[in-house]
């Protein structure tokens, strides 16, 4: 008889759910996807919106809006503590955030009201917290939202709602290489694992634009629910999931035929969607219902609805890899961590809902 020894059992991935009472309390909840329960709550400052977990699962980045300016915070997932607070400047409103596959670069989209209402994307060195470059995305008032990096780490895609475009940026030169016209009010964006297709949720036209990444052209338009926001692609590339804010649903798109094959009812006001690494479950943040829905991707049915903090959003990739740390307890308490940037740290106050 041959003895078979199994390898280490990896912990289930953790989800990181941002929430705010829109008055004076904001948190990032650490959510165990094995038990569908909150294991820790990290106090953060300002109104959180974008969330990005690194591929290694060691860091979570959150964009924060306050009345005086925006910031991006980094949380160490082993200790659930804030280890960086990078201010973006006064009168800035940050939205999307993404990391490159190696976790060495951070990309943050924001509106800069101090510079004629321009939309920018900062390129930040995650080791030092310093800005390497600022990319002017479009004309005045463009109001960029979603951002994603392709798996090959060669291109960045940014949605621009006011100009109905997607900006394509070279990751080495930080130069804009293409501007693609899509549907009305593009918001969420995701790339398939092969890097061949880019999916854009258009909130004004209630559809998804499918972009050929090789030619930077739209090759299909898929009707979905009312006011689509977040979008995610299954790890095998076969399915695309779109959160419909006013439809209170998730549209499931077959990537081969570019057709909707299921519409899954969830809680009120879904915004963020993120998949577990094995693709077996999709998690949805329901901003108005203050819940998180867990969907079985094999049956396209909701298997759990869990109470979250007030107004959960987590716009972006908010689930870590298999075996990612989840920390034993809460972080150091309210307020910003060390400011490793060059701007003053914004203060907490009353903020608006401009992101939604």
- In order of 46, 57, 117, the CA distances from 258 in angstroms are 38, 31, 36
How confident is the model at residue 166, as a pLDDT?
97
Please, are residues 97 and 53 in contact by the beta-carbon 8 Å criterion? no
Beta bridge partners of 273: 284
* Structure tokens belonging to residue 108: 């943050």
Please report which helix (H) or strand (E) contains residue 110, including its range.
Answer: strand 105-112
Task: Calculate the average pLDDT of the chain.
Answer: 88
Q: Of residues 254 and 114, which shows the higher confidence score?
A: 254
- The distance of Cα 295 from the centroid of its chain, to the nearest Å, equals 18
Mean pLDDT of 233-260: 99
% of the chain exceeding 70 in pLDDT? 85
Mean pLDDT across 76-100: 94
Both tokens assigned to 154: 């060669």
- Rounded to whole angstroms, the Cα distance separating 139 from 167 reads 12
> How far is 70 from 338, CA to CA, in rounded Å?
15
Confidence of residue 324 (pLDDT cuts 50, 70, 90): low
Mean pLDDT of 224-246: 99
Q: Is the pLDDT of residue 329 over 90?
A: no
Q: Is the pLDDT of residue 29 over 90?
A: yes
Going by pLDDT thresholds of 50, 70 and 90, the confidence category of residue 338 is very low
At 46, the pLDDT band (50, 70, 90 cuts) reads confident
151 dihedral zone (left: phi>0; alpha: psi -120 to 50; beta): alpha
Domain residue spans in the chain? 14-317
SS3 113: helix
- Exposure on the CB side of residue 86, measured as CA atoms within 13 A: 24
pLDDT digits (tens, 9 = 90+) for 176-190: 999 999 999 999 999
Tens of pLDDT, residue by residue over 268-279, are 999 999 999 999
Q: What is the pLDDT of residue 117?
A: 78
20 vs 3, 46, 48, 261, 266, CA distance in Å? Answer: 52, 8, 7, 34, 20
Query: Which pLDDT value is given to residue 276?
Result: 96
CATH of domain 14-317: 2.130.10.10
Residue pair 29/40 in contact by the 8 Å Cβ criterion = yes
How far apart CA 237 and CA 356 sit, in angstroms, is 28
Q: Which of the two residues, 219 and 69, has the higher pLDDT score?
A: 219
H/E run at residue 14:
strand 14-20
- DSSP letter, residue 319: B
Q: What is the average per-residue pLDDT within 285-305? A: 98
Cβ-contact 69, 346 below 8 angstroms: yes
């Amino acid at each position: 008889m041959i003895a078979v020894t199994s390898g280490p059992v990896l912990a289930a991935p953790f989800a990181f759910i941002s929430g705010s009472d829109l008055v004076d309390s904001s948190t990032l909840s650490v959510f165990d996807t094995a038990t569908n329960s909150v294991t820790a709550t990290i106090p953060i400052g300002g109104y959180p919106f974008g969330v990005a977990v690194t591929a290694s699962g060691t860091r979570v980045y959150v964009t924060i809006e306050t009345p005086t300016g925006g910031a991006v915070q980094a949380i160490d997932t082993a200790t659930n503590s804030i280890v960086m607070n990078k201010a973006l400047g006064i009168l800035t409103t940050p939205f999307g955030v993404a990391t490159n596959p190696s976790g060495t670069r951070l990309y943050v989209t924001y509106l800069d009201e101090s510079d004629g209402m321009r939309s920018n994307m900062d390129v930040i060195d995650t080791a030092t917290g310093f800005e390497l470059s600022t990319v002017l995305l479009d004309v005045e008032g463009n109001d960029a939202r979603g951002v994603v990096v392709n798996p090959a780490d060669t291109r960045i895609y940014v949605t621009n709602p006011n100009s109905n475009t997607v900006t394509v940026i070279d990751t080495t030169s930080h130069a804009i290489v293409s501007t693609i016209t899509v549907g009305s009010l593009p918001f969420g964006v995701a790339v398939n694992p092969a890097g061949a297709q880019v999916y854009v949720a258009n909130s004004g036209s209630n559809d998804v634009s499918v972009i050929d990444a090789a030619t930077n052209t739209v090759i299909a338009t898929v009707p979905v629910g009312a006011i689509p926001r977040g979008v995610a692609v299954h790890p095998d590339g076969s399915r695309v999931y779109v959160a419909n804010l006013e439809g209170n649903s998730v549209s499931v798109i077959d990537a081969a035929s570019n057709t909707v094959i299921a519409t899954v009812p969830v809680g009120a006001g879904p915004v963020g969607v993120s998949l577990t690494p094995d693709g077996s479950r999709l998690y949805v943040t329901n901003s108005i219902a203050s819940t998180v829905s867990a969907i079985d991707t094999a049956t396209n049915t909701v298997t759990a609805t869990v109470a979250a903090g007030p107004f959960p959003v987590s716009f972006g990739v908010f689930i870590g890899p298999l075996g990612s740390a989840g920390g034993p307890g809460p972080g150091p308490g309210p307020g910003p961590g060390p400011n490793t940037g060059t701007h003053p740290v914004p203060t907490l106050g009353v903020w608006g809902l401009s992101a939604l």
